[in-house]
Amino acid sequence: MIWLAWRQHRKQALFTALGLVVLAALMLPTGLAMRQSFADKGLDDCVRALGRASLIAADADTCGRLFTEFNNQYNAMSMIGVLFLVLPLLMGLFWGAPLVAREIEHGTHRMVWTQGISRRHWALVKCGVVGAGTLAAAVGCGLGMSWWLTPISQAGQHGRFSTFFFDMQGIAPVGYTLFTVALGVFAGTVWPKVLPAMAATLVGFVGLRIALTTLVRPHYLPAETLTFPVKGATVQTNPAAGDWVVSYGIRDASGTMLTPNAQIACPPDATGPGADCGASLGIPGDAHNWQLYQPGDRFWLFQGIETAIFVALAALLLYVAVRRILRLA
């Protein structure tokens, strides 16, 4: 049976492998170049000095200028990363959806399911082989992207915890990939034609991902808040902390939000333009900066939760799909 699964999917496996090799050929040199330039600018030491605390002393950010320099140089790079957001979806569309749907569309299920093995056996081997292949690809992509994105994240351009960048690295893509493949298999048992199964996979995956990312992920753990004064600020937020800032703004002494999505910090005895610390914008002197955030050290915990949710959904979908396969004819 493993021979059959391999024979049926070898061409597809070859194309997938080729695609991944092309991606690696793109990512490896650029990743190395970014790391080289990061090190050449002395940013490694700088980042180490900043530490991972959410707040640092106001005069501690000595990396700012170098960060800007680095980010200007590799501004467009992070756009390449977006490609990796759709990779799990492609796996589901081209590996998951046709698995059952194509057999039924071509009627070949009646040939293969009347040989000497049970349909359950057939389904488990097919899903196992396809699952193992896509799993290997997803692990490679996820960990590879973690490596590739590290300088961009450390330079504060896009923290690894922020939406989209969280989704394309670590183990989360593994969860997404297993989920879309399972969703594709399941869709094929409900709409036993390749195109409708692919469409259902697309809609289901994008819908669930958006819903979970925007509505559920911020609440995996209660977010924390931090505050620091606007006037006479001796601290500032740490660009290297890797926190996921859910929302922030300036609140007055009673806690009422004055200006959302803004942050002002004037050092004591400030002079020059801006020294009024927003007084001209109507921000009183006793106002404070406020930030709701998920601390950066929760990154792997959140990755684990996200992955567990999608793997659990994948297992559920596969279970239902195999049960449905036993009803098809």
Partner 1 sequence: MDVVLETDQLGKRYGRAWALRDCSLRLPAGRFAALVGPNGAGKSTLLHMAVGLLRPDAGTVRVFGQAPYDSTAVLAEIGFVAQDTPLYRDFTADELFTTGAKLNRRFDTALARDRLGQIGIPRDKPVGKLSGGQRAQVALALAMAKRPRLLLLDEPVASIDPLARREFLHALTGVVAETGTTVLLSSHILADLERTCDFLIVVHASQTKLVGGVDELRGEHRQLIGPRHASPPAAGIAQVVRTSHTDRSTTLLVRTNGPIHDRAWQSHEVTLEDLILAYLADDDLGAGRTHVGWGVSA
**Minimum separation from the CB atom of position 2 to partner 1 (A):** 8
**What is the smallest separation between the CB atom of 98 and partner 1, expressed in angstroms?**
13
CA distance 153 to 156: 5
Total Cβ atoms within 10 A of residue 155? 26
Which residues have C-beta within 8 Å of that of residue 156, sequence separation ≥ 6? 67, 71, 239, 240
Total site size for partner 1, rule CB under 8 A:
24
Nearer to partner 1, 4 or 262 (CB): 4
Among 30, 90, 113, 147, the residue binding partner 1 under the rule CB under 8 A is 113
Q: In the structure encoding, which two tokens stand for residue 136, read together?
A: 């290997």
Residue of the chain from 72, 79, 114, 271 that contacts partner 1 (CB under 8 A): 114
Residue 68 or 118 having the CB closest to partner 1? 118
Q: What are phi and psi of 286, to 5 degrees?
A: -95, 10
Q: Which is nearer to partner 1, 113 or 220 (CB)?
A: 113
Q: Which residues contact 50 (CB under 8 A, 6 or more apart)?
A: 56, 60, 61, 63, 238, 239, 240
Q: Looking at beta carbons only, is 5 or 152 nearer to partner 1? A: 5
Q: What is the C-alpha separation between 263 and 259, in angstroms, rounded?
A: 9
Q: Which span sits near partner 1 by CB under 8 A: 25-33, 118-126, 235-243, 297-305?
A: 118-126
**Site membership for partner 1, residue 14 (CB under 8 A):** no
Binding flag, residue 74, partner 1 (CB under 8 A): no
Q: What is the DSSP letter of 168?
A: T
Q: Write out the residues near partner 1 by the rule CB under 8 A.
A: 1, 3-4, 7-8, 11, 106-108, 110-120, 326-329
